[in-house]
Structure 1
Amino acid sequence: MHTCTRATCLRYNKHGQLTCKRRAPWELSTDSTIDHLGRYRIKRTMAFMNNFNPSISGTFCCNNDIKLISNGADTKDVMWYTTGYQSKKQGKNYNVSALMAKTLLYHETRIDADRRDNILDQNRLLVFRCQHAINREMEMSAPQVISYLMRWGDRICSNHYVLFYWSSIQGYLQAGFDELKSGRNSEAYRSIGNDNMDMSETEHNGTREVDKDESEVNND
């Protein structure tokens, strides 16, 4: 028998009314039926009596509530709940930014002196520490754990990708060209772009002239 109390199920709805979150009292029914939408209605003669199973109640001496899932929206809801429970869906991630900031501070204070000049080692160690910081705050599903133990990975890629460290290339360019370090970066890039455009136009015009001469020779 279900009993509504403030400590268990009574909550205020959006209209300010105190209602049972279990939706009691339930609808009465003289017979067990299934409508055309697949909704199952069990026989119920008492509005506050759970759909208990006598075998479960007698064996485990506990309260229980059963429901037949045939089809319709209830089946979809059960599948969605089961999938989310098995895959350990991460619902709230508002503290990830604060966690990353804390990890970055830890990384900057404990980095080795011999690694400060190596950009690749610094980035690799920072990503490694961020990954472990996130893993401490999240649940892992059984399929994910099995995939890691079997070394199958956690993603499937259709192509093979090559790592491209743009920060390292930018550092090499700035070390070789002093004008890139100053505030004239945009002017330097524009001048390089204009030179490339002039060269392409010259080559293009030269190609057209050669093609014209060849056509005249062929006509002769």
Structure 2
Amino acid sequence: MLVKRIILLFFVLFLSSSYNSQGLQSERIPQAESASAEAAAIPPLDEKRAVELYEQALSEFMEFWYGDMGCEDPNIPDDLPDDLIKSLVTEAANRFFHTKEGGALPNAKCDDRIITVNGKGGYQFFCEPLDTMDKLKAYLSEVFTDEIVDQLIAELNLVIVDNKIAMQTLGVVGGIDWEHATFKMIKREGNFYSYECTVPITGSDDSELRRMVLFKDPKTGWKVASDPGQLK
């Protein structure tokens, strides 16, 4: 009940702000006869626009409440099934390595030329369809939070050449096996879930510990919110 009341209050404040800032008013104070013709009455707020404002306000409040405020969403469980965690983290690891390898997706169209940028050699264009910044960000944003996407891209030191992105080749190869990892929850804060992961080392009987943080975005679902370095 408290959450619903807060949501309603948030919507009223949001609607009031939008209503005033956009000049959407159903009644106007009579203007002096000398008022300009440009000050003619603006049509009242229609039902469709009111619904749009409500949905926008509700979405922004939910993101603030369960994200920034760290409040728990009663619609998601206290813990997550291993299959969900494994699927999300494995996909994040695959996209992390595909990115570090210059967008080398299966059946991707790649330009194998090695180019020199600002006097430094060893640069290579990203493969299609990840050869522009917008495409790369969209690809990563499907599994990572916006903050982690920005961090990962900044660490790559990408350059733009002929409207395409390029990077110095790294030849990164993953050395741990997320497909056979096990997970133990160690903390939950709102929609942030922290896990201790025991991940086998490929080709070895040994394993390594990693810490992964998963976040339930009210708009787009589960995302990885950990330092990408935890994936390798």
Give yes or no for TM over 0.5: no
Which structure shows the bigger proportion of residues in strand conformation? 2
Question: Which one has the largest radius of gyration?
Answer: 1
Greater share of helix = 1
Greater RCO structure (CA 8 Å; 6+ sep):
2
TM-score scaled by structure 1? Answer: 0.20
Q: TM-score, normalised by structure 2?
A: 0.19
